[in-house]
Amino acid sequence: MSFDTSLAKQMAKISNYVYDVKSNVAPAYGVDAIDSTDKAPAVTAIAQEGAKATSFAAVLRFEDRTVLAFQGTIFTSLDDWTEDFRAEYNEDPQAQLGLPGKIHEGFAHQLWLINDQILADLRQGFQGPLYITGHSQGAALAVLATRWLIQQEPSVKVAATYTFAAPRAGDATFAESLAGQEIYRVEFGDDIVPHVPLPAIEAANWLNNPFNTAPLQRLISTVANGFVAVGSLVYRALGLHEPLQSGLSETDEAKLTADRRKRLARAGAVSLANHLMANYLAMFDDDMWKSIAQKVAGQVADPLRKAEQKIEDLVHKIPVPKMPKIKLPFQ
């Protein structure tokens, strides 16, 4: 199997759909099918118990395939953001779930909160191949869950994992444990999230605890090993005629990554705007892509023209001072 644009388009829609899972009750509306022959799936909503729940997922059973989707970070949820910023390597044996290597503490905890429910649901049976997906934090959980299911339930075969804007969930050892598994990490424009977490987060933790040697040890460990992206890159830069790039060689991907990081240094708030789910939905929809590209082009061009005009007007308004006459001593 190779990267499937139609399948990616539906995985993006499902990743968007699962943002509306708020409890063990599935959202009332359905999910768009890949084509007209698809029937609406049966949906099981999976939710962490408790008033401050932050971990949600859904299992969607189509006639010929099943999709496990994880919810991403809810922008207004402080508890959700707290989990995202728990960027140390996990040291809790329970939350590690037997996964190899070192993994992100917050993401490990999020999966651990609902892993039993997921396994119990999948053991009830499902049709066709299993796909796993998610956006943002949900994408990181999708990667962890892929490895966890492979080792936890050998009878459950994961056909492919499609992640959208996935932050890095583990170190090189964890990434290597998924070698040969079909994982496609879809990334857009100047979205900063696929580039994090970075060692700088560990540095901040250490600086806040100058007399504690444990954070320093974690800092050294992170810098030495680092978090690693997992999967084959699928990328599209924002622009009306920008193509969808996939199947890149290691050399081409390294060059693209270096160029993207240079742009991130000056992207500012744009890097967060590029993280929105709408951009990832548009990557596989020509009409949406055209609309977003033209809108952004106008947003960029109009302020530039207005700024240029303001500068020109100000220049014309600046009074030109008259230079006083100076009598030189030899005159």
303 and 160, same structural domain? no
**Tens digit of each residue's pLDDT (9 = 90 or more) over 70-113:** 999 888 777 777 787 787 888 899 999 999 999 999 999 999 99
Report the candidate in 172, 162, 44, 174 with the shortest Cα–Cα distance to residue 114.
44
Residues 143 and 170 in one domain: yes
Domain range for 314: 293-318
Q: List the one residue out of 227, 175, 176 whose CA is nearest residue 201.
A: 227
- Same domain? 172 vs 193: yes
Indicate if 279 and 298 belong to the same structural domain: no
What predicted TM-score, i.e. pTM, was given to this entire model? 0.81
Identify whether 329 is part of a domain: no
Cα Rg of the chain (Å, integer): 24
Q: Assign residue 267 the CATH number of its domain.
A: 3.40.50.1820
Q: Is residue 238 part of a domain?
A: yes
DSSP H helical ranges for 265-285: 270-273, 277-282
Q: Based on the fold, state whether residues 156 and 133 are members of the same structural domain.
A: yes
Amino acid letter, 146: T
Give the pLDDT confidence score for residue 301 in this predicted structure. Answer: 47
Instruction: Name residues of the chain where pLDDT drops below 70.
Output: 1, 28-38, 51, 198-225, 297-331
Q: Please report, as a single letter, which amino acid is at residue 259.
A: D
Number of domains, the chain: 2
Residues 307, 227: one domain?
Answer: no
SS3 state of residue 159: strand
pLDDT score, position 206: 46
Let me know whether 310 and 194 are in one domain. no
Residue 101 lies in a domain: yes
Burial 126-153 (b: 16+ CB within 10 A, else e): beeebbbbbbbbbbbbbbbbbbbbeebe
- Domain boundary (242, 262, 284) is at 284
Residue 327 lies in a domain: no
- Specify the amino acid at residue 69: A
Residue 116, amino acid:
D
Q: Are residues 212 and 229 in the same domain?
A: yes
Q: Give SS3 for 46.
A: strand
Q: Are residues 269 and 298 in the same domain?
A: no
Kindly report, residue by residue over 116-135, the tens digit of the pLDDT. Answer: 999 999 999 888 899 999 99
- Residues 314 and 251 placed together within one structural domain of the fold: no
**Is-contact 146 158, C-beta < 8 A?**
yes
Same structural domain, 310 and 219: no
- pLDDT at position 149, please? 95
328 in any annotated domain: no
Please report the pLDDT score of residue 299 as a whole number: 58
Q: Is 155 part of a structural domain of the chain?
A: yes
Integer angstrom CA distances of residue 66 from 2, 144, 146:
18, 18, 14
Question: What is the model's pLDDT at position 51?
Answer: 59
Residue 330 lies in a domain: no
Mark whether 101 and 243 lie in a shared domain.
yes
Residue 328 pLDDT: 44
- 331 in a domain, yes or no? no
